[in-house]
Structure 1
Amino acid sequence: MQPAREPVEFLPDFCTAPRVLRVLMVCEAVAVVLALGGSLSHELAPRFLLLSIYLQWIGICSAAALCLIRRYAGHLSARGLVLLAYLTLLAVTFAITEITYVAGRYSGFGLLLQDASHLGFLGRSLGICAVVAALALRYFWLRSDWQQRAEAEMRARLEALQARIEPHFLFNSLNSVAALIAIRPADAEYALEDLAALLRARLSSEVPAVTTLADEMTLVNAYVRIEQLRMGERLRMDIDIAAAAMACRLPSLALQPLVENAIGHGVARLPRGGVVSLSARVDGGMLVLRVANPLAADTPAVPGNRQALVNIERRLALRYGEAATLRITRDKEQFIVDMHLPQDEHRLS
C-alpha cells in the first residue's frame, strides 16, 4: 500500500490583500453568530461592535502569522506546516484574549466579560479558535490535494493529446514529401521541417503547459502548410489575428487541434474544399478565438471530432474552471468553435 501523498505548499499566501480580506470576512461572520447567540437586549449593537473589533484583531494577527510561516517555514513538510500553523493560531488567539481581558477592566471591552470568568472567557475563545482553525486548515489541505490531482489529470490529458498522431496524416505527409523530393526539393525540405516541428510538439515530454498564441500559430501554420501539399487549392485559410492577441497565453495544443479538426473533418470531406476561418482578438481581458469550417449539407457528425473537442474542453476546465468557455455551433453549412480564455497572470503561472 502506497503512503498518503502530502500536498505541497498547501497554505495559501496570506501576504496578499484579497486573502486578508477573506480572513476578515470570516471573522465578521463569527462575530455575527456570537452576537446573536447572546442576549437579544439593547446591548446587542455595542456587543456586536466589540466582538467585531476583537475578532478582526485576531484575524489580522493570524493572517500575518500565517504569512510569515509560509515565507520562512517552507522547508517543513506539509504535516509540519499544519501543526505549526494550528499551534500558532491558538497562540495568537491566547495572546489577544489575555490582552483583551486585561484591557477590558479599563475600557469598553468589559461588556464582553460581564458573564464570563477569566478562564471561561479564555476557554471559550480558544475553543472557537480550535474549531475554526481546524476547519480552515483541513479545507486548505483538501483544496491543495485536489489541485495536485487536477494538475496531474491535466498533464495526462496533454500528454494523451500530444501522443495522438493520426497515422493517415503521417503517411500522407511522408508521401507528399517523397513526391516533392525529385521535382521541388526545397519545398520537400521545408515540409520535413514543418513535420518535425509538429512531431516535436506532439511527442516531446518537455512541452510547456502554457504557451503564447504566437508559438501556437507556428504549429498551426506548419500543419496547414503540410495539409496544403496534399489538398492544394482545395484548402484555403482566412486568418485574422489582432496584433495584441499574439502575446496572449493559452494552454499548449489548444488551438492547433481545432484547426486540424476543421481541416480533417470539414474541408477535406468536401469535393471542392473550402475556407477555414481563424480569428483572434482581445476583449475585456479575455483572449477570444474562433475557428470555423464549412460542412456539406449531408455531412454527419464525426465521433473523432467530438472526442478531441471534449478533451480540450476538459483541459480548459481543469486550468481555468468556469472562467474559460468553449462553445460549439453547428448548422447545415458551418461548424464553429469559439474559445474564450482569461489572461489573468495567476491563472497562467
Structure 2
Amino acid sequence: MDTSNFYVPDLCRVRAVFLLLVTSEVLVLLLAVVQASSGWIDWNYFGLLSLFVQWTTLTSAALICLLRQRLARMSVGRATISIVLIVLLDVLAFSLFADNVLHPQEGIAAWHGIAKKLLLALLIILMVLRYFYLQHQWQQQREAEMQAHLTALQARIQPHFLFNSMNTIASLIASNPDQAEEAVLDLSELFRASLRTGDQLIPLSRELDLCQRYLAIEALRLGDRLTLQWDLSPGLDNQAIPPLTLQPLLENAIYHGIQPLKEGGEVRVEVKAQGDFVYLLVQNPNPEHNGTEHQGNRIALANIQSRLHALFGEPAVLKRSQHNGIYTVTLRLPRLDANTRKTPTRRT
C-alpha cells in the first residue's frame, strides 16, 4: 500500500528516527536546566530522564513503523488518536517499570509521577503530530503549486509551424492524399502531447517519436533543404525527460537556423550518457553571426529551463553556445529511469 500521503513521516527510516532522538534530547536538556536547583544543569536528572525518553522514543517509533500501513488507511483523526494511545501506553509501561524497578516508589507519589509523565508525553506528542500535519499540508500545497506551474509552462508550448503545416497538408490533399493523411496524424499526435499535462516525466523514446513526427511534417515543407543527423547512444530509451522538451529545441533549430537559409542546412541531434548524467545536444546553423538571439528562442529556452529546474533541481542544466556559425543547445539531465523513477544500475 502507498503510504506517501500519510502525514506522519516514515519512522522506519534512520534519518526520521535520528531527528526524533535529537529533538527529544534537546527537550530533556531544557528540562534538566529548569530542574537544576544549583548550577546550570542537574546531571542526575538529565541522565535518568534521557534514558527514559530514549527508550520510549525508540519503542514508540518502532510500533508506529510496524503499524504504518494500518494507520495510513485511517482518517487523520483516528490515526492521530491511535498514535497518541500508542505513545501513552508505551510511556505508561516504561513508567511502571522505572518506578517499580529502577526507582521504587509507593502510594500516591508514584501515581503522581506517572500522571506527570503521561501529561508531558501527551503535550509533546500532540505538538509533534501537529508539526507533522502542518509540514505535510505545506508539502502537498507545494507539490500542487509545482504541478500547476509545470502545467502552465507546458500549456504555453504552441508550435510555430501550425500555419505552415496546415498549408502543406492542404496542398497535399489533391496530389498525395495518403501523405496528407499521415501528416494530419503526426500533427494531431503533437498537439495531443501538448495537451497531455498529467505526465511530468516520459521515456526518452516517446519524446524522440514526437520529434520524428514533427520533423516528418517539416520535411514535407522544406524538402531537400532540411538534412538530419542522429547520433543516439543505445540503452537510453527509458531515460526520464519532461514531455515536449526536445521537440521545441528542434522547432527553434528549424525556425531560426534552417528556414532563413535558401540552401537550408543540417540539424544534428546527439544523445549520450556520461557518468550519472545524460546529455542531449541540438545543433543547427546560425544565420546571424552578430551574437544576437531571437526573442522567441529565448522564451522557449527559458520555458524549458524552468521546467527542468522545477522537476530535477540543480542537477539539470541547459546551456547554449555559438561557434563557427553553429548554434548548440545542450541539456544535462540526471540519469533516471522513467518507469521506476530510480537511477538505473550501470555495468562497469
Q: Normalized against structure 1, the TM-score is what?
A: 0.74
Q: Secondary structure at the match of 1:244?
A: coil
> Compared with structure 1, are the counterparts of its residues 21 and 203 closer, same or farther at alpha carbon in structure 2 (3 Å cutoff)?
closer
Q: Does 1:278 align with 2:275?
A: no
Contact 2:271/2:281 (8 A) holds in 1: yes
Q: Does 1:256 align with 2:247?
A: yes
CA displacement at 1:165 relative to structure 2: 5.7
CA displacement at 1:274 relative to structure 2: 3.5
Identity %: 35
Map 1:151-300 onto structure 2 (within 5 A): 151-164=143-156, 166=158, 168-204=160-196, 208-295=199-286, 296-298=288-290, 300=292
CA displacement at 1:256 relative to structure 2: 2.4
> Compared with structure 1, are the counterparts of its residues 98 and 288 closer, same or farther at alpha carbon in structure 2 (3 Å cutoff)?
farther
Per-residue Cα deviation, 1:97-126 (whole angstroms, up to 9, x for no partner): 4334434249xxxxxxxxx97745773686
Query: Distance between the aligned counterparts of 1:136 and 1:269, measured in 2?
Result: 63
Q: Give the alignment partner of residue 340 of structure 1, picking from 330, 333, 336.
A: 333
Q: Give the match for residue 16 of structure 2.
A: 22
Q: Secondary structure at the match of 2:236?
A: helix
CA displacement at 1:55 relative to structure 2: 4.0
Per-residue Cα deviation, 1:204-233 (whole angstroms, up to 9, x for no partner): 46x533211111111111112212222233
Structure 2 counterpart of 1:210, which letter?
L
CA displacement at 1:248 relative to structure 2: 1.9
Structure 2 stretches lacking a partner, 5+ long? 344-348
> Compared with structure 1, are the counterparts of its residues 75 and 33 closer, same or farther at alpha carbon in structure 2 (3 Å cutoff)?
closer
**Quick check: which has more Rg, 1 or 2?**
2
Q: Give the match for residue 110 of structure 1.
A: none
> Compared with structure 1, are the counterparts of its residues 223 and 100 closer, same or farther at alpha carbon in structure 2 (3 Å cutoff)?
farther
Query: Distance between the aligned counterparts of 1:284 and 1:239, measured in 2?
Result: 21
Q: Give the alignment partner of residue 314 of structure 1, picking from 283, 306, 317.
A: 306
CA displacement at 1:77 relative to structure 2: 2.9
Q: Secondary structure at the match of 2:297?
A: helix
Contact 2:84/2:122 (8 A) holds in 1: no
Contact 1:244/1:281 (8 A) holds in 2: no
Contact 1:178/1:188 (8 A) holds in 2: yes
Q: Does 1:64 align with 2:56?
A: no
Query: Distance between the aligned counterparts of 1:211 and 1:128, measured in 2?
Result: 47
Q: Does 1:303 align with 2:300?
A: no
Structure 1 counterpart of 2:70, which letter?
Y
Structure 2 counterpart of 1:198, which letter?
L
Contact 1:24/1:59 (8 A) holds in 2: no
Query: Distance between the aligned counterparts of 2:258 and 2:293, measured in 1?
Result: 14
Q: Secondary structure at the match of 1:247?
A: coil
Structure 2 counterpart of 1:199, which letter?
F
Q: Give the match for residue 4 of structure 1.
A: none
Query: Distance between the aligned counterparts of 1:335 and 1:276, measured in 2?
Result: 10
Query: Distance between the aligned counterparts of 1:277 and 1:235, measured in 2?
Result: 11
Tell me how many residue pairs correspond in the alignment.
327
Per-residue Cα deviation, 1:231-286 (whole angstroms, up to 9, x for no partner): 23333333222222112223322332333333334443445444333333344444
> Compared with structure 1, are the counterparts of its residues 64 and 177 closer, same or farther at alpha carbon in structure 2 (3 Å cutoff)?
same
CA displacement at 1:311 relative to structure 2: 3.1
Per-residue Cα deviation, 1:5-59 (whole angstroms, up to 9, x for no partner): xx953233334xxx24431343045436746956899x96x99887665444333
Query: Distance between the aligned counterparts of 2:265 and 2:178, measured in 1?
Result: 27
Q: Does 1:12 align with 2:9?
A: yes
> Compared with structure 1, are the counterparts of its residues 237 and 73 closer, same or farther at alpha carbon in structure 2 (3 Å cutoff)?
same
Map 1:26-45 onto structure 2 (within 5 A): 26-28=20-22, 30-31=24-25, 34=28, 37=32
CA displacement at 1:347 relative to structure 2: 6.9
Structure 1 counterpart of 2:58, which letter?
I
**Structure with a larger share of its residues in helix:** 1
